[in-house]
Amino acid sequence: MTTGVHTSGRAPLDKKVGVVMGAGPGIGRAAALALANAGASVVVAARNLERLETLACELTDQTGQLIIPLEADLGDLTSCKTLIAETEERFGRLDVLVNVATGGGPNTPIIDADWDGWRRAFELNVIGNLELSRLAAKIMMQHGGGSIIQIGTFGTHSRPVRQGAYTSTKEALLSASQTLAKELGPRNIRVNMVTPGYTTGPNLDSLFAGVAQRTGESVGEVSQRLAKTAALRGHVDPEDIAAAVLFFAGPGGARITGVELPVTAGQR
């Protein structure tokens, strides 16, 4: 993957600080790696501290940047506050926030909805993400601006059955983020969303296994069938999502805010 270094030799995020919330395998890891390769110091955050410590060591070895693991829970607003406070305490600033962490919600038809499950999904995917966003923004205001990047879902466009809770939360997050972009724009803080299509990794493997069980296909057949529905005839990789994150975080996205960028291989 490209490091994103300008021809002048200076990394685009040199001396910047980023937080990746939900820095597990897949998109979170790829996003943290992209920010670090672009010159940023990065806080990787999630609930599993042991896994984060391993990730931080790996990314530090690969990039030479300072990678700090911090345990945090998106569903706990106090934990969100502690994450941002510890980031400011360690680095004195925060320039980029990438909200990858998410919760799926109940996988049932709306007619059979478990409203407690819906509430939990909204608490995680909307309230938790917005809490992190506003806490980060308050620090960014003190240092000339910054970039907040939300991760959406292609389900808000395809409207898959049985996923109403999850897609509703991401639609709400997009709407709130676009409002936040207008509110924070005068302070030079940009808020955008990257929306992945079918993204390779354990979560996609699990999804395809579930489809295969219902249809009688093999997992490979499911993957190939759905790949053919994309204009580019394939799925996207975590690194593709990370490239879009890096664009919004860096100078290339300096005049862009309040937009959703689908990275879907042309999935319709």
- pLDDT digits 0-9 by tens, 29-85: 999 999 999 999 999 999 999 999 999 999 999 999 999 999 999 999 999 999 999
pLDDT at 267: 87
Q: How far apart are CA 167 and CA 185, in angstroms?
A: 26
- Alpha carbon of 107 to those of 117, 164, 190, 251: distances in Å? 9, 8, 33, 39
pLDDT at 2: 40
pLDDT at 7: 42
Q: How far apart are CA 161 and CA 171, in angstroms?
A: 15
Helix (H, G, I), strand (E, B) or coil at 65: coil
Other CB atoms within 10 Å distance of the CB of residue 50: 9
pLDDT at 6: 43
Q: Which residues of the chain have pLDDT under 70?
A: 1-9
**Contacts with 41 (C-beta within 8 Å, 6 or more apart), sequence order:** 16, 17, 18, 65, 66, 67, 68, 91
- CA gyration radius, the chain: 18
Torsion of CA 41, 18, 146, 133, to 10 degrees: -160
pLDDT at 234: 96
pLDDT at 157: 86
- Alpha carbon of 238 to those of 109, 192, 251: distances in Å? 29, 18, 21
Report the half-sphere exposure of 72 (CA within 13 A, side-chain side): 34
Catalytic residue among 166, 198, 208, 247: 166
Active site residue 166: yes
Q: How far apart are CA 22 and CA 102, in angstroms?
A: 8
